[in-house]
Amino acid sequence: MAYWLLKSDPETYGFADLERDTTTVWDGVRNPQALSYLRQMKQGDQLLIYETGADKHIVGLAEATRAAYADPKQNDDKLVVVELRVGKRLPRPVTLAEIKADRAFAEFQLVRMSRLSVMPVPAPLWKKLITMGGL
């Protein structure tokens, strides 16, 4: 099992939408590095959902329910999607400012490559983020 962070624009599809739908196909990823990470996702991988709106923060958890596959809505085999199921909403969102203020996250891609929409989360940082979020 691996840990990942997925960014979403809450005005397009936020965690509240995922809570309502309970499952979704995560699509729309175009960045080659983000697509590479998406292709590595497996069923059962754990996901942090990060909202990129005015309040940049990690708001909840999800789980990959199907490994990456070609996006059926696109005519480009390079574009892939994953399926996921909603998990828990964090009792307390973890803000980007908090993450940047903590030296433990200095090398975390969310801090170093802030525009990347899909990224791995090392297990020690996953545990720290979950704790910061109140779980």
Q: Which domains does the chain have, with CATH numbers?
A: 3-132 (3.10.590.10)
The percentage of residues in the chain with a pLDDT greater than 70, rounded to a whole number, is: 100
- What's the per-residue H, E or C state across 90-134? EEEEEEHHHHHHCHHHCCCHHHHCCCCCEEECCHHHHHHHHHHCC
pTM of the model: 0.95
Instruction: For residue range 25-79, list pLDDT tens digits in order.
Output: 999 999 999 999 999 999 999 999 999 988 999 999 999 999 999 999 998 989 9
